[in-house]
Structure 1
Amino acid sequence: MSTKRRTAPAASNGQPVPLTSSMPSSTIRTSPASRSPLLPTRLEALLISIYPSTLLLGSIFSTLSPTTRSAPYNASSQSHPPEFAPSYFAQKRNIFNVYFVKIGWFWTTLAFFIFVLLNQGFGSGLSKRRVRAILRWMSVTLWWVVVTQWFFGPPLIDRGFRFTGGQCELVKNEGAREGMSETRELLTAAACKAVGGTWKGGHDISGHVFLLILGSALLWFEVLPALTRAEGLRDGRRIMLNDGKVASVAVEKDERDEKERDDRERPTTKGVKFAIGVVGLMWWMLLMTASYFHTWFEKFTGLLVAFSGLWAVYFLPRGVPEVRAVLGMPGV
């Protein structure tokens, strides 16, 4: 079996185009700019399409299912009353929602680091590939924090709710309603619930949809090269070089005997399996969320907000060499 060597394409002046420092083990070759580097490959597009398809499938089910359609739904709490829930998964207290979705970023982080630490494709120790993978995780985590936890005060979800006319209203007892004018100034859903109020009146971006798509897609993009055994992801990721040329990046394969390959790939397989397990459960809970919670527009905006963060970390670097030099690309 011959080993694929790293080659450099020739520039217009006859000199080779230098390989970028962020791709020490890849083969880069110039190619016609038939597709923008900022767009996904065919395989990536297929995987990404799973998310809107899942939301559409869940919304269709909730519309056509007689049991779901006839079950009472509380728009303020974005849920069915427990006693009228059409399914176990339609209850907010179901075990998967409480111990998986509610702490979804913990499971995303755990799966990511198991994969990164066990996958020997990242090299040994604190290699450049491993550092850049962690920087990508940190960037996506920052987006999760900004959207759902804190953004110089309330997170973007709560700011968007207030911007679209939402406010906190006390509903639990008559005496508490006397202070409603003050509670309307509460800026976060958590603060509103803490004083016995309900968060209502504005557009509520689906935090569940955002979290489940953001976390599972992060894991998908990171493990894809290990699954396909080709950094080009079959039809090749295109990148913009420093001189403005568009190139296609593909994997450089190592030549080693069968025993060495088995020994080296065994821990990698373990990391991939756990990550795919987390992704699979996230997909199922995304389907349940689409079927039983939120309006279609709230789910759609959750999808858009998640995709915007993913694009900035996994697609923008392909078209901007300066960003790629910091964040790198999965598998290279």
Structure 2
Amino acid sequence: MPSGTIRTTPAARSPFFPTRLEAQLLLIYPATLLLGSVLSTLTPAFRNAPYSPELQSHDPAFAPTYFAKKKNIFNVWFVKKGWGWTTVAFVVFLLMWPGFGKGLSVKRIRAILRYSVITLWWCFVTQWFFGPPLIDRGFLFTGGQCEKLNDPSAMEDMSDTRVYLTAATCKRAGRKWSGGHDISGHVFLLIIGSALLWFETLPAITRFEGLRDGRKIALDDGKVASVTVEKSPESEQDEATRQGVPLPLGVIIFMWWMLLMTAAFFHTWVEKFTGLLVAFAGLWVVYFLPRGIPAARAVLGMPGV
């Protein structure tokens, strides 16, 4: 850091585990999914509203609240464009936070690489994976297929073309995507996007809020050490450390709210849970795996270090 030092001390905890602060932040996500499910179960208006497995939401005509409709403005213009919002917030932080140094510094390049790997994982899961994305491949693997919308029992002969249909092409053809396990893409997107912003901005937040919590890393000799970013005295009141942080925090908060709405009104519990697991898998590879593998850390680095 431009105004800080890095101190390493012996530590026994595995570098692959999150710090106490990181664990508390990550626990927000399953807790939010649980809270949303409890609300949808215990609130009479939510519980009595007809739910459509095909639509993965409440029947629009009987939706218990505006947020329960897929076409609500926040779902259409924020969640469905969530990676765009994540990207804008990340770029603003990347350009404005002085902790990255000047110009195309090593820290800034590594942050871009971390973002790129997470983006690639988002693309593989939701957009394309050498053909259909992983969500659609999982749906087909678990027995799902594209059925005629008005006659669920009428199945066409299976063919190579049909096997590789995606949910998007199925719906555009006027049919319905039915019969398999559908990982919640909304849950996946909202978690991985907001967590990316959390991990990248946390060093800036801890610098001016005093929330430092040492991360563990494996050294080249196999020993485990604790890495702490210390603030120099002149930076204690440095308002510049806050630059670029408000927009990512705003996006994080709004993503949390939409995650709660998704948990309450869309998808089954299993679909939401697998969305969380797939998001956590990508986050672990980018933000925790390099801590225990020096070669990976040399490429991706660590936020704030």
Shorter-chain TM-score range: over 0.9
Unaligned runs of 5+ in 1: 1-21
Superposition pairs of residues 267-306 of structure 1, within 5 angstroms: 268-306=241-279
Q: Displacement of 1:83 after TM fit?
A: 1.2
Amino acid at match of 2:8: R
1:237 aligns with 2:218: no
Provide the secondary structure at the position in 1 that maps to 2:18: coil
1:140 aligns with 2:113: no
Q: Alignment RMSD, CA only? A: 2.4
Q: Displacement of 1:73 after TM fit?
A: 1.0
Q: Deviations over 1:214-272 (max 9, x none)?
A: 0000000011111111899623100000000111111143343788x34xx1xx53411
Quote the Cα distance in structure 2 between the aligned partners of 1:23 and 1:31.
Answer: 24
Q: Deviations over 1:98-117 (max 9, x none)?
A: 00000100000000010010
Amino acid at match of 1:305: V
Amino acid at match of 1:163: F
Quote the Cα distance in structure 1 between the aligned partners of 2:216 and 2:266.
Answer: 38
Q: Displacement of 1:299 after TM fit?
A: 0.4
* 1:220 aligned residue: 198
Identity level (%) = 66
Provide the secondary structure at the position in 1 that maps to 2:91: helix
Q: Displacement of 1:178 after TM fit?
A: 8.0
Amino acid at match of 1:277: G
* 1:16 aligned residue: none
Amino acid at match of 1:327: L
Quote the Cα distance in structure 1 between the aligned partners of 2:209 and 2:227.
Answer: 7
1:32 aligns with 2:11: yes
Q: Displacement of 1:95 after TM fit?
A: 0.5
Quote the Cα distance in structure 1 between the aligned partners of 2:111 and 2:140.
Answer: 35
* 1:65 aligned residue: 43
1:313 aligns with 2:286: yes
Q: What is the aligned counterpart of 1:206 among 164, 178, 184? A: 184
Q: Displacement of 1:171 after TM fit?
A: 1.2
Q: Displacement of 1:191 after TM fit?
A: 1.3
* 1:153 aligned residue: 131
Q: Aligned pair in 2 of structure 1 residues 255, 270: CA closer, same or farther (>3 Å)?
A: closer
1:97 aligns with 2:70: no
Q: Displacement of 1:67 after TM fit?
A: 0.7
Quote the Cα distance in structure 2 between the aligned partners of 1:257 and 1:146.
Answer: 41
Q: Displacement of 1:27 after TM fit?
A: 2.1
The normalised TM-score by structure 1 is 0.86
Quote the Cα distance in structure 2 between the aligned partners of 1:288 and 1:40.
Answer: 27
Superposition pairs of residues 95-134 of structure 1, within 5 angstroms: 95-134=73-112
Quote the Cα distance in structure 1 between the aligned partners of 2:41 and 2:302.
Answer: 40
Amino acid at match of 1:81: D
Quote the Cα distance in structure 2 between the aligned partners of 1:247 and 1:178.
Answer: 59
Q: Displacement of 1:190 after TM fit?
A: 0.9
Quote the Cα distance in structure 1 between the aligned partners of 2:270 and 2:174.
Answer: 27
Unaligned runs of 5+ in 2: none
Bigger CA radius of gyration: 1
